[in-house]
Structure 1
Amino acid sequence: MIRIAVANQKGGVGKTTTAINLATALAATGQRVLLIDLDPQGNASTGLGIGQALRDRSSYELLTGQATLEEAVVRTPVPRLDIVPAKVDLSGAEIELIDFERRTHRLDHALEGGSEARWDVCLIDCPPSLGLLAVNALVAANAILVPLQAEFFALEGLSQLLQTVERIRSRFNPELSILGVALTMYDRRNNLSAQVADDVRACLGNVVFETVIPRNVRLSEAPSHGMPALIYDHRCAGSAAYMALARELIARLPAKKAEAA
């Protein structure tokens, strides 16, 4: 199972929207997908229609050892897409995990102890911070996907995240790679979006995905209906963009693993 952390310490960049819709798009291509909601706000869970009543076991119990991966997994309405939901208890995990042995490897350990063969790809929706929850995701992941809002301060935040990735590589996970940077909330009518995109591509080159995710009302509406935009309105520009991004992502997956899928 390929593990991909969807991470950016800056909030409001479309990270959860990207995680939900990429997971759905990958499932639509035949991949068996596991989405781990590691954000205490639980927006990825809500966006896939997983109500509080279905979150008896969650990523909190998974990290603290109170539940196995199999016990925490919930099936979503999307075929071939499962989720480990999140609930508000996760907000206290940052403090609680301090007392755990190998606290930075809790998620990695939980995934290794589970039936990884059930899924081809695991997406980890990280919280908008670089705290212990995000570190657990980066230690467990094979690669990181960075949603990056096409706005002025994007590069500054990206620089901080890349420094964190280098520290994780040097101390905990030398195999961690950058799968790609996805430009989100792109407004073609705004010259600033084009300028930021040019700057990011000049800085990072081919690391940046060709596909850009546009500002799209249907993408914003879909979570309130408890479904991904690809199901809420598969014809909208946002859905088409995420399908294109999924195709790019699949092309970048390690060849050996991709063939196994």
Structure 2
Amino acid sequence: MTLWLEAHPSPTTPLTEQPVIRVIVANQKGGVGKTFISSGMAQALAEAGHRVLIVDYDPQGHLTAELGFEDLMYEDDVETLLMHMDGTAKGDIHDLLVALDHERFGERLHLLPASDDAFLRDVALSKVSFSEAALERALEPLENDYDIIIIDGPPSLGLNMDTALYYVRRRDGELSDRSGVITPVWANKASHRAFRLLRSQMEDLCRKGRITVDYLGLVINAYDSRRGRLVKEDRDQWERSSSPAVLAVIGDLKEGREAADGEIPLLEYAPDSEHAQAMRDLAKELAV
């Protein structure tokens, strides 16, 4: 009986500790709101009490600039995320982080800024052994410090994207649909084409690497029904899709643009806005 009980533990036994939640906000198409969604969700999660790291993995560095840290992208004689990925860094990756010191976030929200060598990432990683795991190797020392790590993905496919997709794969023993991919889209044909390209790359990586990457959902961004019948039809097409599900439809409102232009976090600039509430609703989806 003792042997049987050991082999069949009570269902009330707590699950083993789950890895940190890892999410990439990704789409091959630029301009659909990856940075807006990444930043907003991270802010809402930190506001709710979670320890959050947001990684600006887009070589263009929009997230870093919109949060007021653009100068950090061009500092000389400092190590970068790429150096920690290709193994040339000598320092501690914690030294790269900056905190958003607004009281609302309670010192729980940190940024790993972009750097001006990020455009070289595909070329540099092509020379790294098992390059798909390069981002994971770089970020591993940070994982115990956070509940959730959000990657603001690049607007392109290739090795740069593969490393990020590999990082958010379902790890051994991890629950399904805990880490994975969120894709912002617009209600137009270009977003449908871009989504198919990204999904094809994900499936190829999963097949060749024998891994599973969970699709957490879509976010229809900058939606305005006044743009006509085709926009409504495209939205309906997204919502009819059984997988991945549409997590939210966010209107084309001014607060997000104004916050970005002013280099102020959205939840600090317009905490009571419809945009801010949409980010809080998305954060609840991740933090379940």
Asked whether the two chains share a fold, i.e. TM above 0.5, the reply is: yes
Find the counterpart in structure 1 of residue 111 from structure 2: 83
| Contact 2:23 2:151 (C-alpha < 8 Å) held by counterparts | yes
Find the counterpart in structure 2 of residue 257 from structure 1: none
Q: Write the distance in 2 (CA, Å) between the matches of 1:8 and 1:68.
A: 30
Q: Tell me how far 1:154 sits from its aligned partner.
A: 1.9
Q: Residue 208 in 1 paired to residue 232 in 2? A: no
Residues 163-216 of structure 1: CA distance to partner in whole angstroms, max 9, x if unpaired?
A: 11111212236131011111111113233332212101212356221x211111
TM-score normalized by structure 2? 0.80
Q: Tell me how far 1:110 sits from its aligned partner.
A: 1.4
SS in 2 for 1:134: helix
Q: Tell me how far 1:24 sits from its aligned partner.
A: 0.4
| Contact 2:52 2:109 (C-alpha < 8 Å) held by counterparts | yes
Q: Residue 121 in 1 paired to residue 148 in 2? A: yes
Whose helix fraction is larger, Structure 1's or Structure 2's?
Answer: 1
Q: Residue 71 in 1 paired to residue 109 in 2? A: no
Q: Write the distance in 2 (CA, Å) between the matches of 1:3 and 1:206.
A: 17
| Contact 2:218 2:244 (C-alpha < 8 Å) held by counterparts | no
Alignment-mate amino acid for residue 63 of structure 1: M
TM-score normalized by structure 1? 0.88
What is the percentage of aligned positions where both structures have the same residue? 31
| Contact 1:215 1:238 (C-alpha < 8 Å) held by counterparts | no
Q: Residue 43 in 1 paired to residue 80 in 2? A: no
Q: Write the distance in 1 (CA, Å) between the matches of 2:203 and 2:243.
A: 18
Task: Give the structure with higher Rg (CA).
Answer: 2
- Which one is further off, 38-47 or 72-81? 72-81
Find the counterpart in structure 2 of residue 239 from structure 1: 276
Alignment-mate amino acid for residue 217 of structure 2: G
From 86, 107, 110, the equivalent of 2:138 is 110
| Contact 1:6 1:126 (C-alpha < 8 Å) held by counterparts | yes
Q: Write the distance in 2 (CA, Å) between the matches of 1:49 and 1:193.
A: 34
| Contact 2:24 2:152 (C-alpha < 8 Å) held by counterparts | yes
Q: Write the distance in 2 (CA, Å) between the matches of 1:25 and 1:194.
A: 29
Q: Residue 4 in 1 paired to residue 41 in 2? A: no
Find the counterpart in structure 2 of residue 144 from structure 1: 181
Q: Does the C-alpha gap of structure 1 residues 192 and 15 become closer, same or farther in structure 2, counting only changes over 3 Å? A: same
